Chains A and B, each alone.
Chain A
Amino acid sequence: MSAFVRYELLNFIRSLKFIPSSVLYLTWVFIMYAYKNVPILSSYGASSIALYLTMTWMAMAMFTMEEEGEKHILFAHLGSKSKYLRGKWLAIFISMIPLMLFAIFFPILTGSFKGGMTSEYYVLALFCHVIFGIFGVLVGTLFSATRFATKKYAWLSAVFVLVCSLASKSLIETAAFLKWILWLFPPVFYVIEHMGNEFIVNKEFWIDMIFVILYILLAAQIIVWLFLKKER
């Protein structure tokens, strides 16, 4: 597996496909911290959203990097299609690490925050970025490595999912019945809501976190199934 992950990372770096998404992400973070004395948790919440969009873009770039023949050779060497998907995900998560660390440590190094960091804030910032990164990878995979990818409007559909998930709270406030549909979209607000000015660990926090983790596990299973169905 490590040779495949290395293959994917080198291939991705040499394809230069990471540049547009990474540059936009870095610019976003630079602009966010152009102002000083910004609140800690809500700033991390905003940079997590940037990571969510960036990782969707990156996952789509990584899954569309190889042509069919190359993919079939890789299937043969790896001996399993699900191993191919797991390797791809691992490579995407490795490429996410520097972006995530940049978003967490850049404001600390430039002294942009109002107040000091605590160990709780570090854990929450890391957790929030990881969760949003995973959401992004799942959306990106859905629209580039399953049957949805072959549809004409794959990129547009991915953007639609991103916008709906980010606007879900306002959409539900406008039309309550939408809550029965919008639970299908990544539950970003279950995390963002806890990234307010004050961090409170209560029962509601743990229920939301369990829901988010269960959502990720279930969504990953469904995407593996959809991927294998496409590659049958």
Chain B
Amino acid sequence: MIIFEAVGAGKKIDGVSILNDISLRISLGEKIAITGHNGSGKSSLLKLIGGIYESSTGQVKRAMSKTGYVPEHFPENIRFKMQEYLLLMGKMSGKSESELMEKIHIYAEIFTIKEFLNVPLKNCSKGTKQKAGIIQALLMDPQILLLDEPLTGLDEGTQYELLNVLDTYKKEITIVFTAHESLLIDGLADRVITVANGRIIEDDKKEIKKKYKSIKAIIPNQSIALEIPSIQIHNLEANTIEMTVLNDHSDDVLTKLLQRGCSIVELKEKR
């Protein structure tokens, strides 16, 4: 099912052309990364897809019901406490308070921001605000999720957590994001669009290859598992864990495990 289609679309702001001749089709469930240099038009293309921008020329058709949007920089002057803000945003999308409270607490746990739920957003750090920005979009159960540089301001552990959360939505929703970092592109995208000077210069379906590795290891204590970023961790036995990591990061994780006195039991590729 096609949920977005643009034919020769362009966008001008104050007479300046920021997108030119965009022809693009997005199907339901696709995971698309938009890459390009600063000022290339990545964010503008994302806004055009989501309907925040309308095209000045060409044709654009959208067939999606709910659009979640995460801006690159979370607004600085939000005058609400985090939980209050998330509740209000969720209610705008028609969710009930009880359903929202449950979801907010789940996401707060995942993103490790539980202690900030009653803190005014103005007083939160950049990373915490960024997490609130991502949660507000996830709360509405969007059909398409648009993320503008979502890893900006997030620490390494949270970057993996976000990837983990987004990965759980694999087939349910369409995700379009702009990114510079290889973590999201390698870990999530099945299609990569490259933008330069407001034009799409490359649109590649990524070959779905074995992207993950599973590492089984015996660890001296449980805290080690928490120190090493991974997509997923399962405790198999008392001191044996199974970690799922990105292919590209497996050597790094193995080194860290060995340095901490762990013993590797098994290493295999995983889809």
The residues in B between 70 and 104 inclusive whose CB is less than 8 angstroms from any CB of A are 71-80, 88-89, 91-93
Nearest to A13 among chain B residues (CB) is B79
Structural contact, A232 and B54, CB atoms closer than 8 A = yes
Residues of chain B lying within 8 A (CB to CB) of residue A74: 92
**Does A75 make an interface contact (CB < 8 A)?**
yes
Residues of chain B lying within 8 A (CB to CB) of residue A67: 75-77
**Does B169 make an interface contact (CB < 8 A)?**
no
Q: Which of A3-11, A30-38, A91-99, A174-182 contacts B (4 or more CB under 8 A)?
A: A3-11
Structural contact, A78 and B54, CB atoms closer than 8 A = no
Nearest to A7 among chain B residues (CB) is B88
**Does B50 make an interface contact (CB < 8 A)?**
yes
Structural contact, A76 and B88, CB atoms closer than 8 A = no
The residues in A between 53 and 76 inclusive whose CB is less than 8 angstroms from any CB of B are 66-67, 69-70, 72-76
Q: How far is the CA of A131 from the CA of B77 in the complex (A)?
A: 33
Q: Which of B61-69, B191-199, B204-212, B218-226 contacts A (4 or more CB under 8 A)?
A: B61-69
**Does B56 make an interface contact (CB < 8 A)?**
yes
Q: Which of B54, B68, B71, B74 has the most CB of A within 10 A?
A: B71
Q: How far is the CA of A11 from the CA of B53 in the complex (A)?
A: 25
Residues of chain A lying within 8 A (CB to CB) of residue B14: 150
Interface string of A116-133 (1 = CB under 8 A from B): 000000000000000000
Structural contact, B71 and A73, CB atoms closer than 8 A = yes
Q: How far is the CA of A66 from the CA of B85 in the complex (A)?
A: 14
Q: How far is the CA of A67 from the CA of B129 in the complex (A)?
A: 15
With A3-B88, A69-B74, A73-B89 known as contacts, the answer to whether A14 contacts B68 (CB < 8 A) is: no
Structural contact, B80 and A10, CB atoms closer than 8 A = yes
B77 → chain A closest CB, angstroms: 6
**Does B140 make an interface contact (CB < 8 A)?**
yes
**Does A15 make an interface contact (CB < 8 A)?**
yes
**Does A79 make an interface contact (CB < 8 A)?**
yes
Please tell me the number of chain A residues within 8 Å of chain B, measured between CB atoms: 23
With A3-B88, A77-B93 known as contacts, the answer to whether A232 contacts B56 (CB < 8 A) is: yes
Contact for B89 among A11, A77, A79, CB less than 8 A: A77
B29 → chain A closest CB, angstroms: 20
Structural contact, B78 and A76, CB atoms closer than 8 A = no
A74 → chain B closest CB, angstroms: 7
Q: How far is the CA of A6 from the CA of B140 in the complex (A)?
A: 18
Q: How far is the CA of A70 from the CA of B133 in the complex (A)?
A: 10
Structural contact, B66 and A79, CB atoms closer than 8 A = yes
Structural contact, B140 and A77, CB atoms closer than 8 A = yes
Q: How far is the CA of A75 from the CA of B92 in the complex (A)?
A: 10
Interface string of B1-29 (1 = CB under 8 A from A): 00000000000001000000000000000
The residues of A with any CB-CB pair to B shorter than 8 Å are 2-4, 6-7, 10-11, 14-15, 66-67, 69-70, 72-79, 150, 232
20 chain-A/chain-B pairs, Cβ below 8 angstroms: A4-B92, A7-B92, A10-B79, A14-B79, A15-B79, A66-B75, A67-B77, A69-B73, A69-B74, A70-B77, A72-B52, A72-B69, A72-B71, A73-B75, A73-B136, A75-B52, A75-B69, A76-B67, A76-B68, A76-B140
8 tightest A-B CB contacts, nearest first? A3-B91, A70-B75, A69-B71, A76-B69, A14-B79, A77-B92, A232-B54, A3-B92
